[in-house]
Structure 1
Amino acid sequence: MDNQEDTIAVRAGENFDLEKVEHYLRDHIEDIGEGTLQVRQFPSGASNLTYLLQIGDWEGVLRRPPLGPVPPKAHDMKRECSLLQKINPVFPLAPKPYLFCDDPTIIGAPFYVMERRKGVIVNTSFPSGVTPTPEVCKQISHTVIDTLVQIHAIDWQAAGLDTFGHPPGFLERQVKGWIERYHRAKTDDIPQVEPLTSWLLSHIPQSPAPTLIHNDFKLNNMMLDAEDLTRPVAVFDWEMATIGDPLFDLAISLSYWATEDDPEELKTILPTVTMFPGFVSRETFMEIYAQKSSRDLSSIDYYMIFAYFKLAVIIQQIYVRWKRGQTQDERFAVFGARVQTLITHAAQLAGV
């Protein structure tokens, strides 16, 4: 894929000192070669900022936190870089990191640089000129499920990931934590929040054995081979990965897996190609996952309701930054209405 196709010119206010970054790269990465640093920005994502770095034939990807104040413990670049260092050897779809920098004089925030993977990201549409058959869409579905099963099968203790999570009480902490995050970022009064959060707190199920979880696993956080869309090239956005409940991870994936029979307002928030003919239903996704992972999904309804609530909180955290003027990205102006829709949907599923 041409760099002009999957990147944009750096957005206003999100640029940095190229000379300082180039000097830092040359001091810490061998064999970069001749040329001047060129930078473009990856347009997707609403959280961390991601840039394509090019010096001659060398390419890398820089990730940094969003501008302005960020939630406590969020956007921890050092943790994300360290996690990738440990995951990449046992799960090669995770990109290899090159360096971490916490010197605030370079770009004003911590950042890390990782290898560049090439392929296509499939989100709301397929790449120009690609019209996949229903059979290809079905195979992509299986690729996504297989990849999630592989992540959950990683021997996280052997990989040295013991310090990347606290499995006992994970789900209860998540429920309480996301409720607290919502209240910290609250802007509008949504009447369903109180009964929904009370229901979530009083119905927490027992978790299965802990695994490594991605915590934001979805089709557009995967990169597929441009020549064979059924072959995965990379899994990105590991910022929230931890050791925890694999059914929570599954439900997060399913919450993004929009289907044609979803409510219209939900499809507007989560418009993905998974609504195209051939992609498996959520029910089939769950059946295949259960069969390949040998996990009991009898409590999955709770996890789905919580996943929609968590997604609402993530969107609310972005929306409050836009409302406070901490980001000028006008994509976020409609996020308040999306939070309302997701909260309402979760409350309806919970019957409250």
Structure 2
Amino acid sequence: MSKDNPPGLDLERLAAHLGRERPDLARGPLTAEVIQGGRSNLTYRVSDGHSTWVLRRPPLGHVLATAHDMGREHRVISALHGTPVPVPETLLLCADEEVLGAPFYVMEHVEGTPYRTAEELSALGPERTRELLFTLTDTLVALHSLDPAAVGLADFGRPEGFLERQLRRWGKQLDASRSRDLPHVDELHAALGASLPESPRPTVVHGDFRLDNVLARADGRITAVLDWEMSTLGDPLTDLGLLVMYSDQRELPDSLISSARSAPGHPSPRELVERYAEVSGRDVSRVNWYTAFAYFKLAVIAEGIHYRYTLGQTVGRGFDRIGALVPALIDHGLTTLQEG
């Protein structure tokens, strides 16, 4: 790790703040590095020479409203710690933007691998890859089985009218990032609104549940679910739709949907849906709508990233190729909805 300041992280100001609030986390000079892989909130591995922990803050520059709320992310992780859903322990929340220029929080560093590619999964072999994906599905069922009130999250969202609000919200976020013509994106948005399913009982939803948003050991045990920035109370099948989308075998021109889905042993989307239905007991007959909605959301997210890239406000590698992914996501969303 480097002693120099990574983009968005002033180590001297951070050390001074920790010295006041959590001196046990700043017992020596701080070093830090950006953890690659995330394309939204910035994540850093930080060390004081004695211990290592993780800091999360919003992206630099253009920020879509409500999409990077550090307080919400800190709250849900704190609430879920100690439940059957594995999450890191939270250590500090700072809402004072004077420290780093934006709110941030600190959590424990958890060992594990975020499997992002088929090559990484190939080291596990087909059988353990298959079991890991089924464990991922079971972890999603565990999240959706929690009583929000029992973990202090009864007021974490407004489940009534959840899908309608989600469609409006993502439509507005698309408008906030429009910088070019995107054929059929408004058609997909309208078609989703015209065929809304009836939501089951609301649960805590993750909002971006996929294999590379968890840490796992080589034996297949999941050690932490990460990236809770879009979590809320709502329709649990929105998470299932995302998991199905990320497991779709159709070719895409970039790696926002990682190549992990093509690894030997990776279950098919149908197998994951059947596993979820079996363990949860939920009706999954409208899963195609939720999968099409997942494609629409990812298209909006990717377009927002592309917009920030054109403004020179992204940190990390691979952002120059994100824009090419958006039209394919829109087309897959329309095709999936028509198949449903």
Question: Same fold by TM (over 0.5)?
Answer: yes
- Equivalent pair of 1:85/1:96 in contact (CA under 8 Å): yes
Comparing 191-200 with 329-338, which one deviates more in the overlay?
329-338
Comparing 191-200 with 28-37, which one deviates more in the overlay?
28-37
The 3-state SS of whatever aligns with 2:24 is: coil
Q: Deviations over 1:231-289 (max 9, x none)?
A: 11111001111111011111011111133xx2x23675523222112111100100010
User: What is aligned with 2:135?
Assistant: 143
Change (3 A) 1:15 1:169: closer
Change (3 A) 1:142 1:57: same
Q: Deviations over 1:1-26 (max 9, x none)?
A: xxxxxxx7599871432122112223
Change (3 A) 1:33 1:257: same
User: What is aligned with 1:247?
Assistant: 237
User: What is aligned with 2:186?
Assistant: 194
Q: Deviations over 1:167-224 (max 9, x none)?
A: 0000111112112211221122122123222211110010001011111010001101
Residue segments in structure 1 that go unaligned for 5+ positions in a row: 1-7
Change (3 A) 1:75 1:86: same
- Is residue 2:105 matched to residue 1:118? no
Comparing 80-89 with 281-290, which one deviates more in the overlay?
80-89
| Aligned partner (choices 269, 293, 298) of residue 280 of structure 2 | 293
Matches within 5 A, 1:14-33: 14-29=7-22, 31-32=24-25
* Superposed displacement of residue 162, structure 1: 1.4
- Is residue 2:313 matched to residue 1:326? yes
Matches within 5 A, 1:99-118: 99-118=92-111
- Equivalent pair of 1:96/1:115 in contact (CA under 8 Å): yes
User: What is aligned with 1:210?
Assistant: 202
The 3-state SS of whatever aligns with 2:198 is: coil
Change (3 A) 1:67 1:40: same
Comparing 177-186 with 26-35, which one deviates more in the overlay?
26-35
The 3-state SS of whatever aligns with 2:291 is: helix
Comparing 86-95 with 193-202, which one deviates more in the overlay?
86-95
Change (3 A) 1:33 1:246: closer
Q: Distance in 1 between matches of 2:292 and 2:4?
A: 35
TM-score by length of 2: 0.93
Q: Distance in 2 between matches of 1:124 and 1:244?
A: 30
Comparing 89-98 with 165-174, which one deviates more in the overlay?
89-98
User: What is aligned with 2:64?
Assistant: 71
Q: Deviations over 1:323-349 (max 9, x none)?
A: 123236552222222111101111223
Change (3 A) 1:203 1:116: same
* Superposed displacement of residue 37, structure 1: 1.1
Paired letter, 1:344: D
User: What is aligned with 1:4?
Assistant: none
Residue segments in structure 2 that go unaligned for 5+ positions in a row: none
* Superposed displacement of residue 350, structure 1: 2.9
- Is residue 2:77 matched to residue 1:84? yes
* Superposed displacement of residue 125, structure 1: 4.1
Q: Distance in 2 between matches of 1:98 and 1:316?
A: 33
The 3-state SS of whatever aligns with 1:164 is: coil
Q: Distance in 2 between matches of 1:186 and 1:66?
A: 18
Q: Distance in 2 between matches of 1:282 and 1:106?
A: 44
Matches within 5 A, 1:159-178: 159-178=151-170
Paired letter, 2:162: F
Change (3 A) 1:252 1:26: same
The 3-state SS of whatever aligns with 2:164 is: helix
Comparing 341-350 with 288-297, which one deviates more in the overlay?
341-350
Q: Distance in 1 between matches of 2:4 and 2:23?
A: 29
Q: Distance in 2 between matches of 1:343 and 1:231?
A: 34
Change (3 A) 1:258 1:177: same
- Equivalent pair of 2:85/2:142 in contact (CA under 8 Å): no
| Aligned partner (choices 256, 261, 278) of residue 246 of structure 2 | 256
Identity %: 38
Comparing 175-184 with 159-168, which one deviates more in the overlay?
175-184
- Equivalent pair of 1:213/1:244 in contact (CA under 8 Å): yes
| Aligned partner (choices 239, 246, 270) of residue 283 of structure 1 | 270
Root mean square deviation, CA, Å: 2.2
